Homo-oligomer: A and B are copies of this chain.
Amino acid sequence: MNIEEIKNKLSQHGLKATIQRIQVYSAMLKTKSHPTAEDIYSMVKAEIPSISLSTIYNTLDSLIEKNLVSTVKTDSDVTRYDAFLDSHHHIYVGGGDEIIDYYSQELDDLLNDFFKKNSIPNFEIKEIKLQLKGDYVNNQKENN
């Protein structure tokens, strides 16, 4: 998405298209790595050196409210953000902070079917998300 498209997307969602928001959202779209607020702060600072960390938080909050960004739960206490909202699951590597996206239409179908057959009384499911925890095996990405 280019700057112009981002501007439009912000306006469409009733958000004033400020340079700060454009750059924050642009940074979010550039990375698949579920950045923290600080990560985004660093990235956007390259473009707008005067930007404040408060603005990062404010902007992320606005984007979340408009469903353009979501948060990812980690075991540690830093919030991570995600601008990719198509249905996917998360692989948590090594109990740590590495989170990888996992896409599978087959899995989504399986889950949707299951909960269609086994609905939860008085509860409407809006999102089904899987957390896969584990570790790399072999010597692929290992480093101890």
Contacts and interface: CB of A to CB of B under 8 A. Distances in A.
A106 to B, nearest CB: 7
Contacts of A111: 130
Interface in A77-113: 77, 79, 91, 93, 102, 104, 106-107, 110-111
Contact of A137 (B73, B123, B131, B138): B123
Interface stretch (A4-12, A20-28, A48-56, A114-122): A114-122
A19 interface: no
Interface string A57-73: 00000000000000101
Contacts of A29: none
Contacts of A127: 131-134
Interface residues of A, number: 37
For the complex of A and B, the 8 pairs showing the least CB-CB separation, nearest first, are: A73-B73, A127-B133, A126-B134, A122-B140, A125-B134, A129-B131, A124-B137, A124-B134
Interface of A: 71, 73-75, 77, 79, 91, 93, 102, 104, 106-107, 110-111, 114-115, 118, 120, 122-138, 140-141
21 contacts: A73-B74, A73-B131, A93-B123, A102-B120, A106-B114, A107-B118, A122-B136, A123-B137, A124-B136, A124-B137, A125-B133, A125-B134, A126-B133, A126-B135, A127-B132, A127-B133, A127-B134, A128-B130, A129-B131, A129-B133, A130-B131
